[in-house]
Amino acid sequence: MEITLYILGSLILICSLLPLIRHDYWTFRVFEYPRIQKLAIAILWLLLYMLFVVSASLWLNLMAVAIGITAICLLIQIIPFTPLAKKQVFGTKETDKSNSLSILISNVFEDNDDYQGCVDVVKKSNADLVLLLETNHRWEKETAVLDQDYPHQIKVPIDNTYGMLMFSKLPFRDSEVKYLVEEEIPSIHTKIELPSGQLVQVFAVHPTPPVPNENPRSTERDKELLLVADQAKNCKLPVVVIGDLNDVAWSYTTELFLKMSELLDPRRGRGFFNTFHAKYPLMQFPLDHAFISAHFKLISLRKMNNFNSDHYPIFVHLQYASQNESIQEDNQLEASQADKEIAAEKKTADTSD
């Protein structure tokens, strides 16, 4: 048993310490994802240690202390995303339809051919704004039926798993497709007009993840997110940033994004809402996001049924009111000088390799 504990304990400590190294290479960044899983395994390790170890060596006792501290640190990092913590975005039951905005975000998984399942989920959600990711020309063709219910569209089908299809019941204004960092990785920048006439700035993003078969570094992802953060912060309109950010809600980069953009995460204080991987219940992470400015309160947030994708769709319903900003601005995360320096460095990072 002691040998098993040594091996398992070493893995826990290594996987927990690696993300503390602020390096963009994937071996450091990818271990930010399984924070819940690391906590569960650390607790299991401590239970095994207490139940089966009678007379432990000094080194195993020291490992137990280290894993206990690790478990506490992981718990502290996770608690903000549970109902035990304060909600960063306040909820509301009041619905002013002229100033509400419902959004469905779904990474369809490009090789998936359950087009009807996707269409059914969209229709069931009845969202005002729909963002479909990993959409190629085949997906564009098979979801064209949605054009009937969504007269406004921005379509960027690409056969590289980074295509985007955006459908809206509400009119777009000043729409642009930009390639902020990588030539084949688009983002959609548009304004959407609520029935009241209020404009909302929407950014839809899907940067590459730091995994070997996609991109060995997080440099490009981090740079794109922080460039969008600047635009969001400087925007005078209410802002929504949506998409598959290929980053978990609790990562250092996501937190840095929230600090620099001054946006809020409706997950905080409510739950994890894990969207990936839909087929592996024990290895799921919150990768699909809707970050919002303080102008909005939350009516509802929920996962939708999966349609053979590797992601669950996520639905968010927001209520705009101009007075919300003053009520919720204290909920924004504050950027330190060190955060600002790191963000500046990431925004100017060389991505030419």
The reply to whether 192 and 68 lie within a common domain is: no
Residues 268, 179: one domain? yes
Helix (H, G, I), strand (E, B) or coil at 74: helix
Q: Which pLDDT value is given to residue 214?
A: 81
Question: In this structure, how many other beta carbons lie within 10 angstroms of the beta carbon of residue 263?
Answer: 27
Write the CATH number for 236. 3.60.10.10
Query: What are the helix (H) ranges across 79-144?
Result: 115-125, 137-142
Give a yes or no: residue 219 inside a domain: yes
Both tokens assigned to 164: 């985007």
- 200 and 171 together in one domain: yes
pLDDT by residue for the chain (353 residues), tens only, comes to 788 898 999 999 999 999 988 888 888 888 899 999 999 999 999 999 988 776 778 888 899 999 999 999 999 999 999 999 999 999 998 889 999 999 999 999 999 999 999 999 999 999 999 999 999 999 999 999 999 999 999 999 999 999 999 999 999 999 999 999 999 999 999 999 999 999 999 999 999 998 887 888 899 999 999 999 999 999 999 999 999 999 999 999 999 999 999 999 999 999 999 999 999 999 999 999 999 999 999 999 999 999 999 999 999 999 999 888 888 989 999 999 999 999 999 999 988 76
- Residues spanned by the domain of 25: 2-81
Residues 114 and 73 in one domain: no
User: Would you say residue 91 lies in a domain?
Assistant: no
Burial pattern 147-179, b for ≥16 Cβ within 10 A else e, equals eeebebbbbbbbeebbbbbbbbbbebeebeebe
Same domain, 75 and 128: no
Strand 129-133 relative to strand 100-107, pairing = parallel
The whole-number pLDDT of residue 353 equals: 66
Are residue 136 and residue 285 in the same domain, yes or no? yes
| Inside any domain, residue 87 | no
Q: In 3D, which of 152, 141, 137, 142 has the Cα closest to residue 118? A: 142
Number of compact structural domains in the chain: 2
Cα–Cα dist 98/107, whole Å: 28
Q: Output the pTM of the full model.
A: 0.94
Would you state the pLDDT for residue 64?
94
Written as six digits, the tokens of 70 are 């690790």
pLDDT score recorded for residue 70: 96
| 209, part of any domain | yes
Cα torsion 20, 291, 102, 239 to 10°: value is -160
Q: Are residues 129 and 71 in the same domain?
A: no
Helix/strand/coil for 151: coil
Question: Within a domain: residue 88?
Answer: no
Domain assignment of residue 89, yes or no: no
Looking at the structure, tell me whether residues 71 and 108 fall in a common domain: no
